[in-house]
Amino acid sequence: MRTKVLLIGWVILALALSGCAAKSSPNDVYTADRSSTYQMGVPEVAPEAPMAEEYYGVDGEKGFGVPAAENEVTQMVMMNASLDIAVDDPSVTLNDVQKLAREMGGFTVYSNLYKTQILNGSEVFEASVTIRVPAERLDEAMTKIKAMTGDPKKYTLNENISGQDVTKEYTDLQSRLRNLEEADAKLSEFYENATNTEEALSIYTQKMQVTEQIELIKGQMKYYEDSVYTSAVTVSIRSKQSIAPLTVAGWKPSGVAKDALEALLKFGKGLVNFIIWLGLYILPIVLVLGLPVFFLVRWLIRRNHARKQAAVAKWIKDHEGESVPPIPEE
């Protein structure tokens, strides 16, 4: 008997330890999301505890497990942005962006500084960084980061701002949390009134499952809250040298190609202009003046040819019967 009691004690202790591990897991997942690069995705919502309704109706009460009325929640929108800029020194700008995040009450999520080779063979620094700043200061942060280029209009290569409304998801989590907390309270009551060890162990197992679901939902709600109250800004920082035209010993192939293209466009433009003038101006004049001349020349040629044929026929008739008629004169 004592061995059986010890065995049950060990099982309950193991379940308690597993419950504690499950309780800490949602925060670990959330911390991993904060330390990773910016992602618009949302952690998958854990399914509701399938065994929570197993005790529905045990004490004759009705309504256990039915969703409570949802509270009104203000609209929750996750605003995030990305920038692609070119600067003189990416390493200095990287530090400036991180400093800006701290000054605005935010923090750095991810940063990376590395070297890359450009077309002329030299190596330059490039960097990428993701920061989080208060959502209401997102536009201010974007403006200050673009100002680090020296010429925002020229060296802001790409800019994007996006938003995701998570009001419904957050409200659903609130409703599920209330239901699970009610289930947890009921299971605690059943556990206290358990009449034997087997029943107590079964109830305790269900209670640990519900507790795990509660902690998961709280972690997901905290993720939404932090994502709404702070905005992620992902910045790709290039060197201005990497976007400068290629130059080889003072010779710029891109410039030569540009000149050749411009010359080709000028030739094509001149050819098209000539065809338009030919069709709309020169051709009508040629038709008006040329057609009468053409028909006059054609009539003269035909008349001359007819006269020659008549002269030959007359000559043949006049010298008919002669053995060797003389050659007719032209």
Res 96: pLDDT: 95
The pTM of this model reads 0.49
pLDDT per residue over 25-42, tens digit each? 333 333 333 333 333 333
CA distances from 90 to 71, 108, 142, 146 (A): 48, 16, 17, 13
Percent of the chain with pLDDT over 90: 31
Segments making up each domain of the chain, as ranges: 2-73+174-216, 77-165+234-243, 253-330
Give the right CATH number for 77-165+234-243 from 1.20.1440, 2.70.98, 2.40.50, 3.30.70. Answer: 3.30.70
Query: Per-residue pLDDT for 23 more than 50?
Result: no
Query: Per-residue pLDDT for 138 more than 90?
Result: yes
> Which of 124, 91, 96, 125 has its CA nearest to residue 108?
96
Name which residue leads in pLDDT, 72 or 193: 193
Res 4: pLDDT: 41
Res 274: pLDDT: 83
CA dist 24 and 212 (Å) reads 9
